[in-house]
Structures are given as structure tokens and as C-alpha cells.
Structure 1
């Protein structure tokens, strides 16, 4: 089943990847709610006006895709968009649910080493370590937050990358091959938020 999605990204460096994601969604792209090439320019609007518009767009969606790029933290909006995605916002008689969220790591200079490195544990298992300096605190606080945390290996204390964190990080290559797999995973976790310690404020 298609989910209504919102894509959060830094325009100056991730616009091309946003376009690739929309293309990869195929027919499901019609459920995308967010900025496109024909969206009105809001650069001359007040901060409060823009925040209200973002809330309005995110309110009707169930999954937020966050493009994780090297200069993402320079954006004025991404951390707000993540916060609005995680908050339950009341409108009239209806309150929005918490969106599922998934991070798509942008390839930079041909690979993902700017953000992640592979580490071999003492028991021989390989795990991926993320440089949290590139991430907003609201992302870091929603990783490895399954409650209780379920280890896939008790010895090296590694967790499943899709279920161990509410905010999973997937490479651009993986996501573009099977976007609906990761969107559905994010949505499923949003229906089980009692199993995660959710941080809703940046």
C-alpha cells in the first residue's frame, strides 16, 4: 500500500537525489506531499508563515524521508521538519499520528565514507559506525531507541539496522533499489511507537 510521504532535504546539495527518489517511487510518487519544481517560492515569507506551511504539508503524510547530506545541518528547516513529523499535531477534532521516518544517506565523492565507517568487532562481526557530528540531535536521539533494545548479537551488542532504531539510516543506492521496502518499514514502526523511546523535540 502506498504511503503519503514528505521528503526533507537541503535544496542546494540534495535536489538531484530528491528527484531520483521521486522517480524511484514510480506510480506511488503521486502520494508525495512536498516541494517540487512548480512549488511557489517562499523565500520572501516570514519564518512563522513557512513553519505553518511545513506543518500543513507534513500533517497529511505518514512517512518522512530525510536526505542525510554533508551540509544538512546548515539548513534552517530540516530539524523543524523532523520535529513536525514526530509530533502529534491537533487540528480541529483530528490529531495527526507520529510519522515513520527514514534517513537516506547521500553518496558524496563516490561513497558514504564521509558519514559511516565499517568496524570489525572482537567476535568477527562487522558493524557500521555513524559520525553523529553530521546529524541533528533529534536524529541521534531517535537511533538505537528500541525499548527494550533487542540485540541480533548478544556478544557484540549489535542491533538490527531496520528495527533497532526508530530513525534508520539507509544508503542512497539501497533506498533507490527498493524505496517501498524502507518506507513500509518506517510506517510499521510508526504503528508501534510504544516499542520506542521517541524524542519529539529538537
Structure 2
């Protein structure tokens, strides 16, 4: 089932990936509410104006896709968009739900090791690490936050990449190959958010 989505990204380095994500969604992109290549330029608008427009875009969505790129944390908007996506916002008689959130890791210099180095455990298991310096605190705090934790491997205490964190990180190639699968995974976690310790503030 199609979900209303919003993409949070740093324009200067991720707009092409934004376009690829929208294209990969096919007919489900009808339910996408964020910026596109045809959106009006708001760089000369006031901060308050931009914030209100972003609120309107995010309010009715159920899943936020965050493009994780090397200079993402230099954006003045992405962490705010994530925070707003996680809030339950009341408008009149209606309240928005807490969005599911999925991080799409941008390929950089040919691979993903800039953010996701592979670690070899003492027991022979191989797991993906996360270089947290490239991500906002609100992203890091919503990783590995399943409660109670369910370990995919009891020996090395690693968790399943899709359910062990409220915000899963997916390589761009995997996401573009089957966006609906990962969007639906994020949505399902939002419907069972009591199974996670959520951090909703930046």
C-alpha cells in the first residue's frame, strides 16, 4: 500500500538522489508531498515562511525518508524536519501521527564505508558499524533503541538491521531497488512505536 512520504535531504549534494528516489517509487510517487525539481526556489524567503511550508508538506505524511550524505549535518533544516516528523502535531480536531523514518545512505567515493564500515567480531560475525559523526543526535539516538532488544546474534549482540532500530539505514542501491519494502518497514515500526525508546527532540 502506498504511503504519503516526505524526503529530507541536503540540496547541494543529494538532489539527484532525491529525484532517483521519487522516480523509483513509480506510481506511488503520487503520494509524495516534498520538494521536486519543479518546486519553486525558496532561498530568498524568510526562515519562518520556509518552516511553515515544510510543516504543511510533512504534516499529512506517514513516512519521512532522510538522505544521509557526507555534509548532511551542515544543513539548517534536516534535523528540524526529523524532529517535526516524529512529533504528534494537532491541527483543529486532527493530530498527525509519529512518522516512520528510514535513512537512505548516499554512495560516496564508490561505496558506503564513509558511514558504514564493516566490523569483524571476535566470534567470526561481520557487522556494519556507523560513523556517528556524520549524523545528527536525533538520528543516533533513534538507532539501536528497540525495547526490549531482540538480538539477531546472541554471541555478538548484534540486532536486525530492519527492526533493531527505529530509524534503519539502507544503502541507496538497495533502497532504489525496492523502495516500497523499506517505506513499509518504516511505516510498520511507526504503528508499533511502543516497542522503541523514541527520542523526539534534537
TM bucket, shorter chain: over 0.9
**Whole-angstrom CA distance in 1 between matches of 2:52 and 2:77:** 12
| Structure 2 residues without counterparts, runs of 5 or longer | none
Match of 2:55 in 1: 55
Deviation at residue 140 of structure 1 after TM alignment: 0.2
Provide the C-alpha distance between the structure 1 equivalents of 2:36 and 2:175, rounded to a whole number of angstroms.
20
Q: CA deviation at 1:52?
A: 1.3
Q: Which stretch shows the higher mean deviation, 155-164 or 33-42?
A: 33-42
Q: Does 1:78 align with 2:60?
A: no
Q: Distance in 2 between matches of 1:103 and 1:80?
A: 15
Within 5 A, what are the aligned runs for 1:2-151? 2-151=2-151
Supply the distance in 1 between the matched residues of 2:150 and 2:55 (Cα, whole angstroms). 33
Once residues 152 and 61 of structure 2 are traced to their aligned partners in structure 1, the CA distance between those partners, rounded to angstroms, is: 31
RMSD over aligned Cα, in angstroms? 0.7
8 Å CA contact retained: 2:68, 2:106: yes
The two structures have a TM-score, normalised by structure 1, of: 0.98
CA-to-aligned-CA distance 1:140-179 (integer Å, 9 cap, x gap): 0000000111111111000001000000000001101110
Match of 1:175 in 2: 175
Dislocated runs of 4+, deviation >2 Å = none
How far apart in 1 are the matches of 2:33 and 2:179? 16
The answer (yes or no) to whether the contact 2:19–2:37 under 8 Å persists in 1 is no
